[in-house]
């Protein structure tokens, strides 16, 4: 009898400690500026993924641990850690990207005639499912602020949002490349098809000859060329560890909409192409010291308001990105920080952070309903680059009062 109790206790402790590893609510929940709403936080480990030298993991985790109930998200940060919880530097496990995306799941999975899941997405602006995430960054994660200034918050878990019979859930996509012993580290992180020895994509479709590199060539389980001595290298157990901070929803929170602009966007049928190529600059431009590739797109922001936060996403060789209003005015500029050391968060040659724009004062920076914005993404073209990106995230608080260019309703 005593034995059975002891076994049960051990089992209980094992169950409890694995739950704790998976979800670590911060011990000190801070007060917000007004001192009444409690800022809450959770730190979560993804399921493990395994990488040997040169290998790629592109994992999709559904129904991840996420704040429950109707909440205002305040920040989301993440990084790759090893099985001791130590941050892994980018030159070992390159974090190509991670993405956090809502979706709707049927509450009664056995009910006939209804799909098990329905898509959900942010407020725009790419067509279809492209860039529908709420959060997502890459190598720059460790030194990029995602904090939404007070009184703003990203609304999540609104019980009125899902269609009847569905509930909101969240999925996480993590794409990481093990570049220990890589034959060409930059080439592997840029997913150059020759280094991956890949001629067909994930779905077995032939990759066009003029596609030199990008996501089509570094899907899950592919492997980039490694130097001798690393070919039989052991797999390493890694995790994506993320921290979400939030407040319970209340009238004091001003909701912000998430819009993601993409410098590759072209009018339909093209839409957002997600990635692009930077050709090496011509000898003439090199002579003029002008090896800058400029990628520009125009996209319409459907609803205007205060632009309270902005940040760009670029890959290594990126030199800055900007977002402009229809009249050309600068709305936000986001500039990369490159590391200059070895340690996680400061890896030489990698973008380890992107500067952000904060405009919390109402009316400080505004966009109009239906305004055409221009996104500019600059890269160095000293060398050729494949699979680069030029995204611009903005958070917009819709005007509660009539916009200046609408007629006052009392007249
Ligand atoms: C789920 O749907 C099935 C089939 O329509 C139904 O028989 C069952 O009662 C439902 N369960 C709940 C909990 O609503
Ligand atoms: C590349 O792929 C081809 C076809 O799958 C294979 O025959 C060849 O050995 C591979 N080369 C290397 C270096 O792995
Ligand atoms: C992008 O490059 C253009 C042309 O060189 C330059 O005028 C602009 O200031 C650059 N913008 C950023 C954000 O680096």
Any idea where the domains of the chain sit in the sequence? Answer: 35-397
Taking alpha carbons only, the member of 151, 155, 167 closest to residue 106 is 167
The bound ligand whose nearest atom lies closest to the alpha carbon of 392 is 3
Sheet with 292-301, side-by-side order of all strands: 292-301, 371-380, 318-324, 330-334
Q: Give the Cα separation of 351 and 325 in Å (integer).
A: 27
* CB contact set of 228 (below 8 Å; sequence gap of 6+): none
Nearest residue (CA) to ligand 1, atom 4: 111
| C-alpha 274 to ligand 3 mean position (Å) | 20
Ligand closest to the CA atom of residue 114: 1
Per-residue pLDDT tens over the stretch 158-208: 999 999 999 999 999 999 999 999 999 999 999 999 999 999 999 999 999
- Does the beta carbon of 378 sit less than 6 angstroms from any atom of ligand 3? yes
Q: What pLDDT, on the 0 to 100 scale, is given for residue 225? A: 97
Q: Which residues contact 165 (CB under 8 A, 6 or more apart)?
A: 106, 107, 108, 111, 114
Residue nearest to ligand 1 atom 2, measured at CA: 111
Q: Smallest Cα–Cα separation from 402: which of 369, 371, 372?
A: 369
Q: What's the confidence (pLDDT) of residue 141? A: 95
What pLDDT score was predicted for residue 112? 75
Please state, in angstroms and rounded to a whole number, the distance separating the CA atoms of residues 68 and 83.
27
Ligand 3 contact via 139 beta carbon (within 6 Å): no
Give the pLDDT confidence of 16-55 residue by residue, as tens digits: 333 333 444 443 344 544 555 789 999 999 999 999 999 9
Ligand that lies nearest to the alpha carbon of residue 107, given by its number in the listed order: 1
Distance 197 CA to ligand 2 centre (A): 6
User: Is the minimum distance from the CB of 296 to ligand 3 under 6 angstroms?
Assistant: no
CB of residue 295 inside a 6 A radius of ligand 3: no
pLDDT at residue 406, rounded to an integer: 52
For ligand 1, whether the C-beta of 109 sits within 6 Å is no
Integer angstrom CA distances of residue 318 from 240, 262, 383: 24, 14, 12
Low-confidence ranges of the chain (pLDDT < 50): 1-30, 32-33, 403, 408-411
**Cα(107) to centroid(ligand 1), Å:** 10
Nearest Cα residue to 80 out of 189, 190, 313, 238: 238
Alpha-carbon span 293 to 277, nearest angstrom: 10
User: Is the Cβ–Cβ distance between 154 and 146 less than 8 Å?
Assistant: no
Measured between alpha carbons, how far is 275 from 215 in angstroms, rounded to an integer? 8
Which of 108, 164, 167 should be mutated for ligand 1, with most atoms under 8 A from CB? 108
Check if the beta carbon of residue 85 is closer than 8 Å to that of residue 22: no
- The CA distances from residue 395 to 39, 137, 147, 155, in Å, are 20, 15, 11, 12
Model pLDDT, residue 11? 42
Residue located nearest, by CA, to atom 8 of ligand 3: 378
The SS3 of residue 21 is: helix
Residue owning the nearest CA to atom 10 of ligand 3 = 378
Grouping H, G, I as helix, E, B as strand and the rest as coil, residue 376 is strand
pLDDT tens-digit readout, 120-136: 999 999 999 899 999 99
Class of domain 35-397: mainly beta
Q: Report the distance separating Cα 241 and Cα 250, nearest Å.
A: 28
Residues in Cβ contact with 113 at an 8 Å cutoff, skipping those fewer than 6 apart: none
């Amino acid at each position: 009898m005593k034995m059975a109790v002891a076994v049960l206790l051990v089992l209980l402790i094992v169950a409890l400690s694995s739950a704790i590893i998976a979800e670590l609510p911060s011990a000190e929940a801070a007060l917000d500026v007004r001192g009444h709403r409690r800022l809450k936080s959770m730190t979560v480990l993804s399921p493990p993924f395994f990488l040997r030298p040169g290998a790629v993991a592109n994992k999709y985790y559904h129904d991840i641990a996420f704040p429950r109930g109707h909440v205002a998200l305040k920040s989301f940060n993440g990084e790759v850690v090893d099985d001791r919880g130590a941050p892994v530097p980018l030159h070992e496990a390159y974090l190509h990207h991670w993405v956090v995306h809502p979706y709707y799941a049927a509450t009664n999975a056995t009910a006939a005639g209804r799909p098990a899941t329905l898509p959900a997405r942010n407020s725009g602006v790419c067509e279809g499912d492209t860039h529908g995430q709420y959060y997502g960054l890459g190598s720059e994660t460790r030194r990029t602020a995602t904090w939404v200034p007070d009184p703003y918050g990203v609304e999540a878990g609104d019980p009125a949002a899902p269609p009847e019979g569905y509930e909101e859930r969240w999925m996480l996509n993590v794409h990481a490349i093990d570049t220990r012993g890589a034959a060409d580290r930059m080439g592997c992180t840029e997913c150059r098809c020759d280094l991956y020895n890949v001629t067909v994509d994930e779905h077995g479709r032939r990759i066009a000859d003029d596609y030199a590199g990008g996501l089509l060539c570094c899907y899950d389980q592919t492997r980039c060329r490694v130097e001798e001595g690393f070919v039989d290298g052991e797999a390493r157990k890694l995790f994506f560890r993320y921290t979400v901070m939030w407040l319970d929803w209340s009238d004091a929170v001003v909701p912000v909409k998430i819009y993601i602009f993409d410098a590759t966007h072209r009018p339909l049928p093209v839409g957002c192409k997600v990635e692009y190529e930077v050709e090496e600059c011509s000898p003439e431009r090199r002579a003029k010291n002008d090896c800058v590739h400029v990628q520009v797109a125009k996209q319409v922001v459907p609803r205007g308001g205060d632009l309270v936060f902005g940040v760009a996403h670029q890959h290594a060789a990126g030199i800055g990105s900007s977002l402009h209003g229809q009249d050309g005015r600068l709305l936000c500029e986001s500039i990369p920080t490159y590391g200059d050391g070895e340690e996680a968060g400061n890896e030489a040659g990698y973008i380890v952070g992107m500067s952000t724009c904060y405009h919390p004062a109402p009316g400080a920076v505004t966009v109009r309903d239906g305004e055409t914005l221009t996104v500019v993404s600059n890269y160095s073209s000293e060398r050729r680059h494949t699979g680069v990106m030029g995204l611009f995230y903005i958070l917009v608080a819709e005007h509660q009062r009539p916009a200046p260019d609408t007629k006052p309703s009392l007249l």
